[in-house]
Structure 1
Amino acid sequence: MSGKSIRLFLVDGDYNGLITAELVNWTGHTLAGPRSELPNLLAREECHQRTGIYFLVSRESSDSGLSVYIGESDDIAKRLKQHSRPESSGGKDFWDYVVVITSKDGNLTKAHVKYLESRLIRITKDVGRCSLINSVTPEFTSLPESDSSDMEFFIEQVQMVVPAIGFTFLKPVKKSVDSGSGDSVIYLLESPKHRLRARATEDGADFIVLKGSDSIGKWNGKNGGYGRLYRELCDRGVLEETQNGRRVFTKDYAFSSPSAAAATVYGRSTNGRQAWIVEGTGQTYHLYQSAKIAEVLPDNETSEV
């Protein structure tokens, strides 16, 4: 894949404040920030009476994943103001961060953003990296062939720029090659006592447990953290009960770390860097990664600081 240039701008010089993001040769414009910055966000030109799409995000627990709501409007500022109200007044309480996508040339129409909203909801569901708050998936308006092509390109750019500001809920999980053949390194996690066997691979920051892997039938560790993640994956059908009392992964699932994956398989907190081993070698994940680092920088070339 060829390189891409993404321009990130910290509006107030603070990474906790408003951020804009743009891709070279893309007409889209991204504006993002925490809910506490909503007054400043709504005052900006790219929100006021602009047609676009938006993502309301709850970052409450990175262990149990994000909660996301996807919407569209022909007046982004007005719609976000409505969402800022209490739930009892028709607003939404759950979110603490917002990402707004508009067009620099103002050429996004209502039909365009309805198409984008519907497609992005479907993509987010298929990817399965978050809890989607949308209760329905709206049908998109049929667009002329040329417009549909333009919007599909727009979606590809959105899928690139949103992860650049820290959210991967639109990033497809890498398809496992024969569930891990080819050049991919396969990691194995087993528990003879509980008759568990799980396989995984990596793709960038994703540690992907492969479809068909086993998991414990019930969470046995402390509540919270990975326990919430385990229960959420059960509720979403990623972990499905089997007749033997265990659970099985119904799809390839991307975790943020080997430890999150190992905890989900074992049903308790686990040091995944020590628990996962390279299939066919007995070498732990930690030792394998250390060996890869040593290939680049041998121990005799390191220096004390």
Structure 2
Amino acid sequence: MTQGLSIRLFLVDGTPNGLLTAEIMNWTGHVLTGPRSKLSELVQRPECGRTGVYFLVGSDPEGGARPLLYVGESDDVGNRLKQHNRLEEKGGKDFWEKVCLVTSKDQNLTKAHVKYLESLLIKHSLESGRYKLVNGTAHDYVGLPESDKADMAFFLEQIRTVMPVLGLDFLRERSTSLRISSDEPDSPVVSTPRFVAEVPKVKAKAYGKEIDGEFYVLAGSFARGEWSGIDGGYKTLYMQLCEEGVLVGTNNGLKQFSTDYAFSSPSAASAIIVGRNSNGRIHWKVESSGHTYAAWQDQQVSAVTTHVEGSMQD
């Protein structure tokens, strides 16, 4: 069974939309995040005068489906954030709506440490592909002793743990092993089935799996060759996947998934397959039984309820 973990969150001004700090026990790192509207308060915090890495996050002004992300480092984060707050024509960045900075409580992070961390963070953000990175390519920074690299590897793992809790999942790994089994002996659900979705009219057929709360369409699956629905909805995502090479054209007029791709929901995945908005809870069916995703999910909930009730009676 996976070991639990406590993360301490503190609402600095007592409101959920203000400044927030996060810490993990036995980790020297300290996380501070807040909206851009609170920047004047944030830069007054002592953390902002320390050496650290920071993230600027915002929606794509051009309407892209993925948020934008900038990863930076500085030995005076507060001063760097003031620079980023300027108008773009004056050297600033306009897109960001939220900032998150990571420093060390014992102030042992050096300029060399954060430059190395920045290179790792950019690399992992690009590999995740969940956000569109404004930085571009990763910088290879190797100017650290072996022991310090090991320390920074641990530091990075803690950052990767905290960020999703704060609603920032740009470091969250996409599943590459497609784990479908639960090896926990007490789990009433022992496996995740493979789902199938078809568009008979155009002979498109796709396969999917639900893993770690996301719905993956598997590489080799086929989708409609062009968007046929109304503008808006998932059309932007469909076009984006085509531009990024996730969906590639085929000789039969369909689009094919070049890699496994994670969607936020079965309906998002179904819409891309069908080429228009679609109820994925009905369209995706368990390959072995033909049950809809909705029926399968209801069975899982019922199985858990029965398991819990049986344990209470014992």
Task: Give the TM-score normalised by structure 1.
Answer: 0.91
Distance in 2 (alpha carbons) for counterparts of 1:216 and 1:79:
46
* Alignment of 1:159 onto 2:167: no
Paired residues, number: 297
Distance in 1 (alpha carbons) for counterparts of 2:220 and 2:169:
23
Identity value in percent: 51
Distance in 1 (alpha carbons) for counterparts of 2:223 and 2:177:
19
- 1:181 to 1:266, Cα distance in 2 relative to 1, 3 A: farther
Q: Is the 8 A contact 1:63 1:225 kept in 2?
A: no
C-alpha deviations, 1:7-35, integer Å up to 9, x for none? 11111222111111111111111111111
Q: Is the 8 A contact 1:102 1:108 kept in 2?
A: yes
Q: Which residue matches 1:108?
A: 109
Q: Which amino acid aligns with 1:218?
A: E
The match for 1:237 among 241, 245, 253 is 245
Instruction: Please report how far the alpha carbon of residue 6 of structure 1 lies from its aligned counterpart in structure 2 after TM superposition.
Output: 0.8
Q: Which residue matches 2:127?
A: 126
* Alignment of 1:51 onto 2:51: yes
Q: Which residue matches 1:282?
A: 290
C-alpha deviations, 1:60-94, integer Å up to 9, x for none? 69992221111111110111111111111111111
- 1:225 to 1:142, Cα distance in 2 relative to 1, 3 A: farther
Instruction: Please report how far the alpha carbon of residue 205 of structure 1 lies from its aligned counterpart in structure 2 after TM superposition.
Output: 2.2
* Alignment of 1:79 onto 2:80: yes
C-alpha deviations, 1:208-240, integer Å up to 9, x for none? 112222222222222233111122222222222
The match for 1:206 among 214, 220, 224 is 214
1:248 is paired with a residue whose SS is strand
Q: Which residue matches 2:185?
A: none
Distance in 2 (alpha carbons) for counterparts of 1:151 and 1:205:
28
Alignment of 1:186-205 (within 5 A): 186-205=194-213
* Alignment of 1:89 onto 2:90: yes
The match for 2:261 among 227, 235, 253 is 253
* Alignment of 1:295 onto 2:298: no
Alignment of 1:32-43 (within 5 A): 32-43=33-44
Q: Is the 8 A contact 2:195 2:285 kept in 1?
A: yes
Distance in 2 (alpha carbons) for counterparts of 1:220 and 1:287:
28
Q: Is the 8 A contact 1:63 1:260 kept in 2?
A: no
* Alignment of 1:227 onto 2:227: no
1:7 is paired with a residue whose SS is strand
Task: Give the TM-score normalised by structure 2.
Answer: 0.89
Distance in 1 (alpha carbons) for counterparts of 2:305 and 2:138:
50
Q: Which runs of 5+ in 2 are unaligned?
A: 183-190, 310-314
1:197 is paired with a residue whose SS is strand
Instruction: Please report how far the alpha carbon of residue 132 of structure 1 lies from its aligned counterpart in structure 2 after TM superposition.
Output: 1.2
**209-218 vs 77-86, which deviates more?**
209-218
Distance in 1 (alpha carbons) for counterparts of 2:233 and 2:14:
32
Q: Which residue matches 1:267?
A: 275
Distance in 2 (alpha carbons) for counterparts of 1:231 and 1:187:
24
C-alpha deviations, 1:173-193, integer Å up to 9, x for none? 12244x868933211111122
Distance in 2 (alpha carbons) for counterparts of 1:16 and 1:59:
17
C-alpha deviations, 1:265-296, integer Å up to 9, x for none? 21111111111111111100111111111223
**53-62 vs 219-228, which deviates more?**
53-62
1:46 is paired with a residue whose SS is helix
Q: Which runs of 5+ in 1 are unaligned?
A: none
The Cα RMSD (Å) is 2.0
Distance in 2 (alpha carbons) for counterparts of 1:94 and 1:66:
10
Q: Which amino acid aligns with 2:271?
A: A
Q: Which amino acid aligns with 2:53?
A: I
